[in-house]
Amino acid sequence: MRRLGIDIGGTKTLCVVVDGSGGDTHVVEERRVATDATGDVVAAVVGLARGFEDVVSLGLGIAALVTRDGTAVTTTHLPGVRDVPLRAVLSEQLDLPVVVDNDGTCAAVAEWRLGAARGYDEVLAVTIGTGIGGGTIVGGRVARGGNGFAGEYGHMVVERNGLACPCGRRGCWEAYVSGRGLARIAGAPSSEAVLEAYARGDESATRALGEFADWAALGLHNLVNIFDPACIVLGGGLGARSEIVAAITRRFQGVEQSHVGRALPVIAAAPLDERAGAIGAAFVGAGD
């Protein structure tokens, strides 16, 4: 049974077709294109979906606030998306069952079903890239919230009157913990430039990565105090990198626990990496 998953991020869009069921599910096709952040999202998805044959469902993960009926309300990274009834419109144009969900929630589902969180019922997934996304599994069920907006961890304020965030507020976690945040901390043109300098042993880059990891650990401890997960999965284009995971884990383990006796959750890099959102979208689209 071929199921299509599409993950639209701020800079790239990834499409995968998965086949099989349960733990035997595997990716049989994959396609990656640049995201046109100001373009017509519906037309882009329809064009991509029609390029795949014999698919029985479509799951769409998008970096947006998505209601339970599949309407993308708003997003900081896709300015052309506001109150778009994606599920209804796409279902009509493609004549396929369609489910639309937040990209972070989709990534969490993928890691829970096939990745680092397999076997856990209490999971916190945090994707770090252009911004921060996330999803939570509570009691073996996906937590979506009353409106469908659960998992917007990146807009938890960690510094009152702090750095400006694209959402319009100040001091949001993703203003510090994101590709943009790492570059800003280091005074570098990009997060990739920082990591390249870090690999060369550059002291300034090392300090910047340490500060970045401190901000990441602060936010994770806030989330642990709320959800008490058994497993934290770090993913996304930046978050799953080995040097990032190692730095965050060291800082996280060094923070004094707010409750003596709490067992620290397992922290793992997302083995599905950047494909998690699209793979999870395929699962969500099939009702899994």
**pLDDT tens sequence across 70-105:** 998 887 677 778 888 999 999 999 989 999 999 889
> Mean pLDDT lowest for which of 26-30, 74-78, 109-113, 283-287?
74-78
Superfamily of domain 3-107+275-285: ATPase, nucleotide binding domain (3.30.420.40)
Cα–Cα distance between 10 and 245 in angstroms, integer? 22
Cα–Cα distance between 76 and 167 in angstroms, integer? 6
- Predicted confidence (pLDDT) at residue 259 exceeds the cutoff of 60: no
The owner of tokens 């998965």 is 18
Cα–Cα distance between 267 and 230 in angstroms, integer? 9
Fold of 116-271: Nucleotidyltransferase; domain 5 (3.30.420)
**In the prediction, which pLDDT does 56 show?**
94
Q: Kind and range of the H or E element at 266?
A: strand 266-269
- Strand arrangement of the beta sheet that strand 57-62 belongs to: 26-34, 12-19, 3-8, 57-62, 98-102
Mind listing the pLDDT tens digit for each residue in 168-214?
899 999 999 999 999 999 999 999 999 999 999 999 999 999 999 99
Cα–Cα distance between 282 and 103 in angstroms, integer? 11
Give ranges for CATH 3.30.420.40 in the chain: 3-107+275-285, 116-271
**In the prediction, which pLDDT does 256 show?**
60
* Percentage of the chain exceeding pLDDT 90: 64
Token output for 110: 């993928």
